[in-house]
Amino acid sequence: MPVDVKYSTKATATGGRDGTTRSEDGKVDLKLSTPKELGGAGGEGANPEQLFAAGYSACFIGALKAAGMQLKLKVPAETRVTATVGIGPRSEGGYGITAELAVDIPGIERADAEKLVELAHQICPYSNATRNNVDVGIAIV
């Protein structure tokens, strides 16, 4: 399915999970560390799963706002999305990731929140990228 790209960016990693990553404009410039749970030292650096969780949660709020415009529902500024990203071995071999989104839309009726979340999940680029490939659970909290 073609995408009409409106923005693109680059980041370069060196050293893998115990190296560094930097965006081309320098706004992201991080040391990376492998979590102890994956056999690493733990270290002070971030890991790819944390970066994915941060991106997915922020992007999903943007999708909620877009859904709100379509549904004529105001998404409050206090809306919070917490993404939990897991990684582990797959039964088929290799590794896979999972994602859980906890969506808190204060002051919105439950039925409206469900409509917003359902439409946002269709709009969000992270949801579209993971659909039918990553187990994504969504809960309204």
% pLDDT > 90, the chain: 98
Q: Alpha-carbon distance 23 to 42, whole Å?
A: 23
Report whether pLDDT(140) > 80.
yes
Work out whether strand 29-31 and strand 80-89 pair parallel, antiparallel, or are unpaired. unpaired
The yes/no answer on whether domain 1-46 falls in CATH 3.30.565.10 is no
36 membership: H or E segment, kind and range: none
Q: Can you list the alpha helix ranges (DSSP code H) found in 2-136? A: 48-71, 110-123, 125-130
List the one residue out of 116, 121, 119 whose CA is nearest residue 99: 121
Q: Alpha-carbon distance 71 to 69, whole Å?
A: 6
pTM for the full predicted model = 0.94
Report whether pLDDT(1) > 80.
no
The CATH code that applies to domain 48-140 is 3.30.300.20
Domain assignments of the chain as residue spans, ordered by start: 1-46, 48-140
